[in-house]
Amino acid sequence: MILALDAMGGDYGPAENCLGAVEACRKFPDLDIALVGDSDRIKMAVDSVESSIRGRLHIVSAEESISMDESPARAIRSKRRSSLRLAMEMVRSGEAGGCISAGNTGAIVAGGVLVVGRISGIDRPGLGVVLPTLEKPTLLIDVGATIRCKPLNLSQFAVMGSLFMKHMVGVNRPDVRLLSNGSEEIKGDEVISEARTMLVENSHIDFGGYIEGNGVPFGHADVVVCDGFSGNVMLKSFEGLGELALKILKNEVDKRILAKMGLVFFLPMLKDLQHRFDYQKFGGTPLLGVNGAVIKAHGRSKAPAITSALGVARDFVLKNGVSKIKEEITDLLPGEEDV
């Protein structure tokens, strides 16, 4: 299997991206990786790697890259030799099974639509991230692909999220909820209310009604559906609260001698807790609704997160994630015309 990695994407560029690719090849013997970007910088990062791994790393030269602050659609259209666009073209042509980038989220979404293409029947793609909640993994969709949503978009996110949890995570009948400002039916604005009506009428998914933000960390749903703005805020809050909890604990321990003495007994538990909520372990977020495996990695991903993102892409391809969504999506979508 060949995956295309945008080696120039993210805060750390080729150095960390290439290290992550090397480790992914060590971890997954069936994996080859096309490193797309500045060939000189990529060669510097990988030429000293052992030959058995180096032979599975293929450099694809790209003269341009897309920065985090560029206009997404304009950059994808104008920078035809950018590392991100070339990686996506490899997916479209079938040269690569999927592509991974830690770069500009908007450009990844724009490239997914303009280069890879949408799945027939899907109006807008959605980024779905699996959260490590208290009770079980929960898919939050959308977390930034479609900022302003119509009811149809939210309804389609619900269907794609349900299929993802069923086929990728193994949840038999995913409980789908719609993020709102209350659990009562009268809550939510016009968009949320209309989306709720569409989901209630869709007998092909298990819709459980609304869920409030404070219920998400406890795993009260398998799929939580929202617009990209709300989802991104929730995701960043989720990450921040995890980091805050660990820092508060550390600060309190530093103030107390007995707590420091007892820390040796709690250290294994604390490491497990930190690992459980570490975004680097989860690595990548699939862009659902496009006609290929496109994985968005965290913008500040270092090598371990890139390795995880490549693992997410590999798993998505091996489980035929795109094909399974395409096969079932038409029957599960509500009776709306494609916009």
CA–CA gap between residue 13 and residue 38 (Å, rounded): 10
| pLDDT tens digits along 173-210 | 999 999 998 777 777 788 999 999 999 998 889 999 99
pLDDT in tens, 100-137: 999 999 999 999 999 999 998 899 999 999 888 777 88
Checking if the pLDDT of 261 tops 90, the result is: no
User: What's the pLDDT score for residue 187?
Assistant: 79
Mean pLDDT for the chain?
87
Kindly state the DSSP code that residue 119 receives in the 8-state scheme.
P
Radius of gyration of the chain (CA): 21
59 sits in which H/E element = strand 57-61
User: Which residues have a Cβ under 8 Å from the Cβ of 123 and sit 6 or more positions away?
Assistant: 150, 152, 153, 156, 338, 339
> What whole-number distance in Å separates Cα of residue 198 and Cα of residue 201?
5
Per DSSP, the residues of 129-168 read EEEE-SSSEEEEE-SSS-SS--HHHHHHHHHHHHHHIIII
Enclosing H/E stretch for 123: none
pLDDT tens digits, one per residue of 129-156: 988 877 788 999 999 899 999 999 999 9
At residue 337 the predicted structure's pLDDT band, cuts being 50, 70 and 90, is very low
Instruction: Please give the pLDDT value at position 260.
Output: 61
pLDDT of residue 334: 57
Give yes or no for residue 159 having a pLDDT over 80.
Answer: yes
Q: State the pLDDT at residue 57.
A: 96
**Contact 205/158 with Cβ under 8 angstroms?**
yes
| pLDDT > 70 fraction of the chain, expressed in percent and rounded | 89
How confident is the model over 57-99, as pLDDT tens digits? 999 999 999 988 889 889 999 999 999 999 999 999 999 999 9
Q: Give the closest residue to 46 by CA, choosing from 28, 63, 30, 59.
A: 59
The per-residue DSSP string of 228-244 comes to HHHHHHHHHHHHHHHHH
Please confirm whether the linkage preceding 315 is cis (ω < 30° from 0): no
Residue 265 is predicted with a pLDDT of 59
Q: Is 214 exposed, middle or buried (0-12, 13-18, 19+ CB in 10 A)?
A: exposed
99, 293 contact by CB (below 8 A):
yes
pLDDT at position 258 over 70? no
C-alpha pair distances (Å), 275 with each of 14, 119, 265, 271, 280: 25, 35, 17, 6, 9
Q: What is the 3-state secondary structure (H, E, C) of 321-339?
A: HHHHHHHHHHHHCCCCCCC
pLDDT of residue 43 exceeding 50, the answer is: yes
β-pair type (223-225, 98-101): unpaired
Burial 227-251 (b: 16+ CB within 10 A, else e): bbebbbebbeebeeebeeeeeeeee
What's the length of the chain? 339
Instruction: Give residue 338's pLDDT.
Output: 40
Q: Predicted confidence band at 250 (pLDDT cuts at 50, 70, 90)?
A: confident
Contact in structure between 334 and 202 (CB atoms under 8 Å):
yes
Predicted confidence band at 279 (pLDDT cuts at 50, 70, 90)? Answer: low
pLDDT of residue 223: 96
CA–CA distances in Å: residue 98 to residues 79, 208, 244, 332? 20, 33, 34, 25
